[in-house]
Chains A and B, each alone.
Chain A
Amino acid sequence: MRLVLVGTSYQRAPVELRELLAYDPELRREALGRLSVEGAEAAVLSTCNRTEVYAVDAEPGALEERIYGELAGLSGLSHSELAPALYSVADEAAALHLFRVAAGLDSMVPGEAQILGQVREAYEAARATETTGPILHRLFRQALRVGKRVRTETAIGENPASVSSAAAELAERVFEGLAGRRILLLGAGKTADLTAANLISRGVGEIVVANRSRERAEALARRLGGRAVGLDAVVEEVALADVVVASTSSQGFVLSGAQVERAMKERRGRPIFFIDIAVPRDLDPAINELEDCYLYDIDDLERVVAESVAGRREEAVRAEAIASEEADAFRAWQLSLDVVPAIASLRARAESIRREELERAERRLASLSPSQRRAVEALTSQIVAKLLHQPTVRLKEAAAAADGVLYADAVRHLFGLGDDADSPRQSRQ
C-alpha cells in the first residue's frame, strides 16, 4: 500500500488556475467518493493557496492517474495543460510535505495559523465520508500534532505578519489588553475597516468613526457597531480614546501635535496609541514626542512586520527539524506495517496451540475446580505472551530497517505460518 500526494499550490499555480482547482465541500465529498473506489483511502485539502489530494492504494501508478483525472475533470483542463502545475510525491515525502504544510512552513507567511485548521477540516471531511483508513488516519493525526508542536516549541507563529495585526499587537504593548478600550477611527475607507476589524477581534469596547463625509462615517459605524462624529469633534474624542487609527485621504495633517497636547491635559497621564496608515500622513509626527503618546506610521509598521517575518523565517529552521523528525517516525510506523501481519499470524498460531493443548488435556483437568481452571488458563496465556513478547519487539524494530520484510518471512517460514489475509495496509479499518 502506497501513500500518494498529487496537488498544486501558490508556488506552482497562479490564482486563475487555483480557482479552477478549488473544491467546495459538496464537490469535495463527491471527489472523495470517486477517489476511494475499491477500498482506497482519500482526503482532499483545498484552501485558497493549495489543492492537494492524499490517497492510499496498492497500485500507486493507477491511483496517481485517477487523481490526475479527477483534477482534470474538476478544472476542465487537459492532462498536459495541468501537469506542469502539479506535483506528485509518495510515502515519506508525502508525509513530510503534509507535516510542513500543517506547520505553516509551506505557507506564504511562515507559521500562519489558519492552515492548521484547514488541515483539520480536510481530515474531518474525509472521516465524514468514510474515506480514511489506518494510513490516512495516522498521517493526518500526526500532521495535526506536528502543527501544534511547531507552534508550541518554536516562536514561528508569535509575531504579527500583517500591518493590521502589528498595529493591534503594538497597542497591546501599551495597554493591558484591548478589551473594553475606546477606538477612534479617522477616515472611513477600506484600510480603516481592516485595522478596525483586527482590533474588534481583540475585544475593543467602543468604536467612534470620524470622517469628512458624515454619511460614510455613519455607514461604517453602523457596520462596526459604533457611533459616528464629524471631523470637527476629533480633539474632544482624542481626549477620551485609547487607540486612534488614521486613514483619511486628506492632503494635510488631520491632527496636529498642539491639538493632541491640548487633549492630553484632560487624560491625567493615561497613554494613547496612534496608528497612522494614511499616505500622505494624517498625524503630525510631533505627536510621538509628547509624553504618553505613541505614534506609528505605515513605514514604522511595515518595518515591524518585516522584522517579525524575518524572525519567523529563523524559527522555521527549527520547525523544519521537527517536521523531519515526525516524517521519520511516520516512515518507521509505515514500515512496521509490513511485519504486523506476521506478528498477528504468529500470535494466532500460538493461541491456537494453547487452546488445542488445553482441550487435549480436558479429561485430566476435569477434576479441577473453576478457580483452579482459571489459574491454568491464566498461566498458559502468560507463558505464550512472555514467549512472544521479545520476538514481537524485535520484529517491530527490524521493520524500520531495510531487511524488516526478510525477518517477517523468516518468522513465517520457521513457524509454518500461511500468507497473511488481513494486513492493516491492505484493509481499511
Chain B
Amino acid sequence: MGEVALLLFWPALAGYAEAAVAYAGDTVRPGRLVRYAIWGVRLGWLAQTALLVAQAAGADGFPWGSWAGSLNLFVWMCVGVYLIWGCRAPFRLLGLVVMPLAALLLVLAWAAGGVGEPARSEFGDVFLAFHVGLILAAFAGFTLAAALAALYLWQERRLKRRAAGVLRLRAPSLETLDALTVRTIAVALPALTLGIGIGLARLESESAGFDAIMGVTLLTWVVYAAFLVLRLEAGRRGRRAAYLALAGFALVVLVRVVLTPFAHF
C-alpha cells in the first residue's frame, strides 16, 4: 500500500503544479488557461484522495500522525475547501495563492516521508485522531481565509491606486471577500476549539506537560476569536480585518512549519 500511495503522489503533485502554472498563465491572458487549471485542481485532488485512502488502508492506527503525514492531510483539506467554491470565475485569483502553496507543501510532505507507508502511529485512539483531524481542518480553513484576506488587500490596493487595468482581471468584490473571510473563520474556529478541547482533555488524563505548540495554538485561537468579535460585534471590517486574519495565519505557519517538526508526541 505504501508503494501505491507513493505512485499516486506524482499525479497529485502534477495536477496541483499544472493548476498553479495555468492560474499564473491566466493572469497574463485571462480566460484561456483557467479550464486547464480547474481540471488540474480536480484531478490532483482526486489522486491525493486515492493516495490518502491507500495510506489509510495500509496503516495501523491513525496514518497521518507524523508531521509529514499531517502536512499531506492538511494539503488535501486546503485544496478540498478551495474546490468547494474557489474554482468559480470571480475567485480564480485565489488559485494563484492556494495552488502553488499546495504543490510546495505536498513536496515538503513527500521529502519528509509523509506520502508513503505511514509510520506506526502513537495516535492509536479515536480521540487523538479527532484531535489532529479537527486542528488540521481548522488550519486548512485559516489558510483559505488568509488567501481571501490577501486577495482582499491586493484588490483594495488596486482600487485605491486607481490602476487603469483594474477591471482586466476578474476578481470578487471587496465585500464578498470580506464576508467569505469571516464565514471561513467562523466555521474553522469551532473546529479548532473542539480540537484544542480534546487535546487538553488528553493532556489532563495523561498528566503530560504544556509545550510551545500548545501555547501558540491557544494564541492562534485567541487571535481568531478576537477577529470574529471585532468583526461581528464591533463592525471592524475591511483592511484591518484582513491584516488580523493574516496575523492569525502567521501563527498557523509558526505551529505547522516551525514548531511541529520538532515536537515529540
Q: A and B, one complex?
A: yes
Task: Give the interface of A toward B (CB within 8 A).
Answer: 154-155, 158-160, 166, 169-170, 172-177, 268-271, 288, 291-292, 294, 296, 300, 303-304, 306-308, 311
Q: Is the CB of B236 within 8 A of A175?
A: no
A160 to chain B, nearest CB (A): 7
Residue of A nearest to B234 (CB): A268
Name B164's contact: one of A155, A177, A306 (CB within 8 Å). A306
**Mask for B193-215, Cβ within 8 A of A = 1, else 0?**
00000000000000000000000
Q: Is the CB of B238 within 8 A of A159?
A: no
Q: Is the CB of A294 within 8 A of B173?
A: no
Q: Is the CB of B239 within 8 A of A304?
A: no
Q: Is the CB of A291 within 8 A of B167?
A: no
CA distance A263 to B114 in the complex (A): 55
Given known contacts A175-B173, A271-B175, A155 and B31 CB-to-CB distance under 8 angstroms: yes
B217 interface residue (CB < 8 Å to A): no
Q: Is the CB of A307 within 8 A of B168?
A: yes
Pairs across A and B, CB under 8 Å, 24 listed: A155-B30, A158-B31, A169-B167, A170-B166, A170-B167, A173-B171, A175-B175, A176-B173, A176-B175, A268-B235, A269-B235, A269-B238, A269-B240, A271-B175, A288-B160, A292-B238, A292-B239, A294-B159, A300-B162, A303-B162, A303-B164, A304-B164, A307-B164, A311-B168
B179 interface residue (CB < 8 Å to A): yes
For chain B residues 155-202, which have a beta carbon within 8 Å of chain A? Answer: 155, 159-160, 162, 164-168, 170-171, 173-176, 179
CA distance A303 to B31 in the complex (A): 23
Q: Is the CB of A296 within 8 A of B162?
A: yes
B85 to chain A, nearest CB (A): 14
Contacts of B170 in A (CB 8 A): 158
B178 to chain A, nearest CB (A): 9
Q: Is the CB of A304 within 8 A of B174?
A: no
Name B167's contact: one of A160, A174, A269 (CB within 8 Å). A160
Residue of B nearest to A267 (CB): B235
Contacts of A306 in B (CB 8 A): 164
Contacts of B165 in A (CB 8 A): 307, 311
CA distance A188 to B178 in the complex (A): 34
Residue of B nearest to A302 (CB): B164
**Mask for B219-242, Cβ within 8 A of A = 1, else 0?**
000000000000000011111100
CA distance A166 to B159 in the complex (A): 13
**Mask for B27-41, Cβ within 8 A of A = 1, else 0?**
000110000000000
CA distance A292 to B160 in the complex (A): 9
CA distance A159 to B165 in the complex (A): 10
B242 to chain A, nearest CB (A): 12
Q: Is the CB of A170 within 8 A of B30?
A: no
Q: Is the CB of B167 within 8 A of A159?
A: yes
12 more A-B contacts (CB under 8 A) besides A158-B170, A173-B155, A311-B165?
A154-B31, A155-B30, A159-B168, A172-B173, A174-B173, A176-B179, A269-B235, A291-B238, A296-B162, A300-B162, A307-B165, A308-B168
Contacts of A175 in B (CB 8 A): 173-175
B29 to chain A, nearest CB (A): 9
Contacts of B235 in A (CB 8 A): 268-269
Contacts of B176 in A (CB 8 A): 176
Q: Is the CB of B237 within 8 A of A174?
A: no
CA distance A155 to B166 in the complex (A): 15
CA distance A304 to B158 in the complex (A): 12
CA distance A177 to B164 in the complex (A): 21
The listed residue with most A CB atoms (<10 A of its CB), out of B31, B167, B168, is B167
Residue of A nearest to B155 (CB): A173
CA distance A172 to B172 in the complex (A): 9
A149 to chain B, nearest CB (A): 13
Q: Is the CB of A291 within 8 A of B166?
A: no
For chain B residues 139-162, which have a beta carbon within 8 Å of chain A? Answer: 155, 159-160, 162
Contacts of B160 in A (CB 8 A): 288, 294
CA distance A158 to B89 in the complex (A): 13
Given known contacts A294-B159, A306-B164, A307-B165, A173 and B236 CB-to-CB distance under 8 angstroms: no
Given known contacts A159-B167, A268-B235, A174 and B159 CB-to-CB distance under 8 angstroms: yes
Contacts of A177 in B (CB 8 A): 173
A223 to chain B, nearest CB (A): 29
B93 to chain A, nearest CB (A): 12
CA distance A296 to B164 in the complex (A): 11
Residue of B nearest to A314 (CB): B29
A301 to chain B, nearest CB (A): 9
Contacts of B238 in A (CB 8 A): 269, 271, 291-292
CA distance A254 to B11 in the complex (A): 61
A182 to chain B, nearest CB (A): 14
Contacts of A269 in B (CB 8 A): 235-238, 240
B92 to chain A, nearest CB (A): 13
CA distance A304 to B166 in the complex (A): 7
Contacts of B236 in A (CB 8 A): 269
Contacts of B174 in A (CB 8 A): 173-175, 271
Q: Is the CB of A291 within 8 A of B239?
A: yes
CA distance A18 to B160 in the complex (A): 43
Contacts of A173 in B (CB 8 A): 155, 159, 166-167, 171, 173-174
CA distance A176 to B174 in the complex (A): 8
CA distance A269 to B170 in the complex (A): 24
CA distance A300 to B170 in the complex (A): 19
Q: Which 6 residue pairs are nearest across A and B when measured between Cβ atoms?
A: A268-B235, A307-B164, A303-B164, A176-B175, A269-B237, A300-B162
The listed residue with most A CB atoms (<10 A of its CB), out of B155, B162, B236, B239, is B162
Contacts of A169 in B (CB 8 A): 167
Contacts of A154 in B (CB 8 A): 31
CA distance A174 to B156 in the complex (A): 8
B94 to chain A, nearest CB (A): 16
CA distance A158 to B175 in the complex (A): 21
